[in-house]
């Protein structure tokens, strides 16, 4: 089973807030190793935003990342670079997951360094918005 395909399919059929689907998918994610589950969920954020429904797909993937309790096996910089072209700026769970996994200071420093080198307008906007959501992150946020 391809976890990313399953999440995308269920988001398209049922939306991102269907509690039954969230519970089912969260069970699937938790049964997989972090090295498998996290890259699959993150891949949903790296797809180009050229089709309808990417918000629902990413919102569901973000929910699963936030609630699955899996550590991120990919370095912060690599995750950020991978999502710059596809992340929907309204999905705050992605930057909050990254803050929880890497720490707000580490993430903000990484974003600042990437922003200084950024050439594309889309990338600059994505980095600035990641920084905005990351600045709103609180360590005490409840899962």
The number of angstroms, rounded, from the C-alpha of 88 to the middle of its chain's C-alpha atoms is 9
From CA 29, how far away is CA 46, in angstroms rounded? 19
In eight-state DSSP terms, residue 5 is H
Q: Is the full-model pTM beyond 0.75?
A: yes
3-state secondary structure 100-120: HHHCHHHHHHHHHHHHHHCCC
Q: What SS3 state is found at 142? A: coil
Q: Where are the domains of the chain?
A: 3-135
For residue 124, give both structure tokens. Answer: 């600059």
38-87 residue pLDDT tens = 999 999 999 866 555 699 999 999 999 999 999 999 999 999 999 999 99
């Amino acid at each position: 089973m391809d976890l990313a395909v399953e999440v995308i399919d269920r988001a398209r059929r049922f939306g991102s807030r269907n509690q039954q689907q969230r519970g089912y998918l969260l069970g699937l994610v938790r049964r997989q190793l972090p090295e498998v589950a996290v890259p699959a969920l993150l891949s949903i954020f790296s797809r180009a935003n050229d089709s309808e429904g990417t918000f629902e797909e990413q919102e569901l993937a973000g929910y699963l990342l936030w609630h699955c309790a899996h550590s991120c096996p990919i370095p912060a910089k690599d995750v950020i670079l991978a999502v710059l072209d596809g992340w929907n700026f309204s999905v705050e769970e992605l930057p909050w997951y990254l803050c929880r996994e890497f720490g707000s200071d580490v993430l903000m420093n990484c974003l600042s360094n990437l922003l200084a080198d950024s050439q594309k307008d889309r990338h600059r906007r994505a980095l600035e918005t990641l920084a905005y959501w990351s600045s709103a992150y609180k360590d005490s946020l409840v899962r």
